[in-house]
Chains A and B, each alone.
Chain A
Amino acid sequence: MGSISRRAMLGATGGLIAGGLLKTQADALTVAEESAGPQTAQADPTKMMGAPTSVLGQRAPGEQPRRRMGNPAVTSSSRTPIEELPGIITPADLHFERHHAGVPAIDPDRYELLIHGMVDRPMTFTLDDLKRFPAESRLCFIECSGNGGAAYNRNANPERSPGQIDGLFSTSEWTGVPLATLLREVGVGRGASWVLAEGGDAAVMSRSIPLEKALDDAMIAYGQNGEAIRPAQGYPARLLLPGWEGNAQVKWIRRLELSDRPSMTRDETSKYTDPLDDGTARQFSFVMDAKSTITFPAYPYVLPERGWWEIRGLAWSGRGRITRVEVSTDGGRNWAPAQLQEPILSKCTTRFRHVWNWDGGEALLMSRAIDETGYVQPDLETQIAARGEGTSYHYNSIRPWRVEPDGRVFFAQGDGG
């Protein structure tokens, strides 16, 4: 069996392994082959020495989460298995991917970032230059604005896991130089109001960003979760725009051009614009509105028995902090405040929990996030009424999950829930 098919097989069963439901002999063998850590579980680890130190750590053989994807393609995507991750941080190798012409292999020694246009002094910065500037780290999520498209449907497929629906969403600690620091260095010219951000990939992906955001909390990031940014996330450096749609956070950033108008690139006209039911399309719709999803229990998990369970999930808002998450177990008739896990950071992911005594009957689980602006995550019908059935992007409606008496859990948007 080739390595690709082995991985595909692991990907297909990963969720079930994490849920403790299914672990075939074949899976165990494959995992052992791939990891350098303890090969097989020891009968009594207190009676033999363990494995020695090593230069690079490995996941436990039984814990091998995989991104979810269709066929590999250079213009495709892979999704973070959010239901398999216990914290808020996404391991870098599980960060979602969305590329428009594949992942470039950029030589860090030849990498340069050019800043020009309406500036006092056009300048070029090497990677070492970027790292030498006063640095900053912050935790924030990145979400593709097309995330959750499968849920924007009254007849959504019930056999979808949280990661399959909302896995174009990941959270990292990003380290880099604030873009404001670099702009201070080049001097923003009078009248400049937009910045064209351009990547060094084969799509030379480009987006126009309002200067206001560039000067507020934008960053040229080179670090992710304590290591260099991974190639798929923009190595050696990317634009980070906390709280804004992923596409605008141009990876492999090679050029920033200050200007007094947007460039009207393909990805801010043909794509990433949101048609509305009044015959217009919303453009430059950067901010990701507040959203939450239950990650447990959810498809494909099967609750083995009635009794006490903890409903768990993730909530986030591109406009600031999450102030409250409410959970319903009866399809939205009654709502109870969920417990929020610290830290609750602006434009970052917040974990929520709610203990629940399942009586063994059918239950419809929902969560709704409320952010510091007072925005309340809407249900699907409210969102359709506001935008129209055919709209694209920014699908942040409530995610309902139906628990059946036999313990199986399904995505319940098809219930009209």
Chain B
Amino acid sequence: MIRLGQSHPAEESKLRRFALVGLLVGTTLVTYGCMPDTPNGEGGTIASGTAEWPSSFSIGRDATAAEIALLDIDFGPDGAGAPAGSGSVAEGKAVYNVQCVGCHGLTGQEGPNAALVGREPRDGFPFGETRGIRKTIGNYWPYATTIFDYVNRAMPMTFPGSLTADEVYAVAAYILFLNEIIPEDAVMNAQTLPAVVMPARDRFVPDNRVGGPQVR
């Protein structure tokens, strides 16, 4: 396979010829070499050439369904693509107390790393108003599916990606229970997790900054 960083043999001989010419007319070459590209003001390339582009460069290859399935781990608030499996609060407690407790604390509040649990202040969302209020899954996260998605990717920090789907559903259930969002007998799976309504669900708004004189 040809690495583009390396030069082809043909290219190499061209380079050698250049070097030779360079020795002879060094100054001229240097001058040409320093000629700036015609700027288009955007710091990019000149918009041209695409007219000559083929409909496809035929670079790259088709991805197989199996390859996609292996990497396609995300799922969003609607739960589409959520993996099979399930876990209860009790099962989640067992997972948590082995895999998470050391970094997130016995009740999910005491750290040393991110606090996962906390509903204070119960009815408000004063994070913009007041400095230093601790954001947790219970008082700040808008979607329960994000717990699965994130833990599945990144936790436990020292062994990321090591939990089964059942274990991730279970630990999500336990964290939601500790946050007083679901009851102790709840079971989380591809249907129930997306159905959980988080306390901060309606707090998020699109970016309204648009430039111009107004400071937002």
| Chain A contact residues, CB within 8 Å of chain B | 74-75, 100-101, 114-116, 121-126, 128-129, 131-134, 136-140, 185, 196, 198, 202-206, 217, 228, 254-255, 257, 259, 261-266, 269-270, 273-287, 289, 319-320, 343, 345-348, 371, 373-376, 378, 382-383, 386-392
| Min C-beta distance of A175 to chain B, whole Å | 10
B30: Cβ under 8 A from any A Cβ: no
| Min C-beta distance of A101 to chain B, whole Å | 6
> DSSP class of A's interface residues: helix, strand, loop or mixed?
loop
User: Is A319 within 8 A of B211, CB to CB?
Assistant: yes
CB-defined A-B contacts under 8 Å, sample of 11:
A101-B154, A125-B59, A139-B43, A204-B153, A261-B78, A263-B74, A265-B146, A265-B150, A266-B154, A269-B142, A275-B125
> DSSP class of B's interface residues: helix, strand, loop or mixed?
loop
User: Is A264 within 8 A of B146, CB to CB?
Assistant: yes
Bound state CA distance, A257 and B67, in angstroms?
A: 13
Chain B residues, CB < 8 A from A131: 4-5
Chain B residues, CB < 8 A from A140: 43
Bound state CA distance, A202 and B41, in angstroms?
A: 38
Bound state CA distance, A227 and B59, in angstroms?
A: 23
Name which residue of chain B comes closest to A397, CB basis: B215
Bound state CA distance, A117 and B172, in angstroms?
A: 26
B206: Cβ under 8 A from any A Cβ: yes
Chain A residues, CB < 8 A from B145: 264
| Min C-beta distance of A42 to chain B, whole Å | 29
User: Is A346 within 8 A of B205, CB to CB?
Assistant: no
User: Is B150 within 8 A of A266, CB to CB?
Assistant: yes
B149: Cβ under 8 A from any A Cβ: yes
User: Is B44 within 8 A of A138, CB to CB?
Assistant: yes
Bound state CA distance, A205 and B150, in angstroms?
A: 9
**Those of B167-216 within 8 Å (CB) of chain A:** 203-213, 215-216
Chain A residues, CB < 8 A from B33: none
**Those of B145-175 within 8 Å (CB) of chain A:** 145-146, 149-150, 153-154, 157, 160-161
Q: In the complex, which of the residues A265, A278, A285 contacts B207, with contact meaning CB atoms closer than 8 Å?
A: A285
| Min C-beta distance of A286 to chain B, whole Å | 7
Chain B residues, CB < 8 A from A378: 215
Interface size for B (C-beta < 8 A) is: 68
Using known A-B contacts A281-B204, A283-B205, determine if residue A134 contacts B131 with beta carbons closer than 8 Å.
no
**Those of B35-85 within 8 Å (CB) of chain A:** 39, 41-45, 49, 53, 56-57, 59-63, 67-68, 71-78
Name which residue of chain B comes closest to A186, CB basis: B60
B129: Cβ under 8 A from any A Cβ: yes
B143: Cβ under 8 A from any A Cβ: yes
Bound state CA distance, A275 and B128, in angstroms?
A: 4
User: Is A196 within 8 A of B74, CB to CB?
Assistant: yes
B9: Cβ under 8 A from any A Cβ: no
User: Is A263 within 8 A of B206, CB to CB?
Assistant: no
Bound state CA distance, A196 and B210, in angstroms?
A: 23
Q: Top 6 nearest A-B pairs by Cβ distance?
A: A373-B211, A275-B127, A388-B128, A275-B128, A204-B153, A266-B150
User: Is A124 within 8 A of B60, CB to CB?
Assistant: yes
Bound state CA distance, A125 and B4, in angstroms?
A: 14
Bound state CA distance, A390 and B133, in angstroms?
A: 8
B135: Cβ under 8 A from any A Cβ: yes
Name which residue of chain A comes closest to B61, CB basis: A124
| Min C-beta distance of A119 to chain B, whole Å | 10
User: Is B141 within 8 A of A345, CB to CB?
Assistant: no
Name which residue of chain A comes closest to B75, CB basis: A263
Q: In the complex, which of the residues A116, A123, A286 contacts B61, with contact meaning CB atoms closer than 8 Å?
A: A123
Bound state CA distance, A185 and B74, in angstroms?
A: 24
User: Is B207 within 8 A of A286, CB to CB?
Assistant: yes
| Min C-beta distance of A373 to chain B, whole Å | 3
Name which residue of chain A comes closest to B213, CB basis: A374
Chain A residues, CB < 8 A from B71: 114, 198, 254-255
Name which residue of chain B comes closest to A140, CB basis: B43
Using known A-B contacts A125-B59, A284-B206, determine if residue A101 contacts B127 with beta carbons closer than 8 Å.
no
Using known A-B contacts A128-B1, A203-B153, A269-B146, determine if residue A283 contacts B63 with beta carbons closer than 8 Å.
no
Bound state CA distance, A136 and B46, in angstroms?
A: 9
User: Is B160 within 8 A of A203, CB to CB?
Assistant: yes
Q: Other CB < 8 Å A-B pairs besides A134-B53, A204-B73, A390-B130, 13 of them? A: A124-B60, A125-B59, A139-B43, A204-B153, A217-B42, A255-B72, A262-B76, A269-B142, A270-B137, A282-B205, A320-B211, A375-B215, A383-B215
Name which residue of chain B comes closest to A387, CB basis: B128
Chain A residues, CB < 8 A from B63: 114-116, 122-124
Name which residue of chain B comes closest to A255, CB basis: B71
| Min C-beta distance of A384 to chain B, whole Å | 10
Bound state CA distance, A203 and B67, in angstroms?
A: 20
| Min C-beta distance of B199 to chain A, whole Å | 13
Between A126, A269, A278, A286, the greatest number of chain B beta carbons within 10 A of the residue's beta carbon is seen for A269
| Min C-beta distance of A290 to chain B, whole Å | 8
Q: In the complex, which of the residues B60, B73, B161, B212 contacts A185, with contact meaning CB atoms closer than 8 Å?
A: B60
Bound state CA distance, A206 and B142, in angstroms?
A: 17
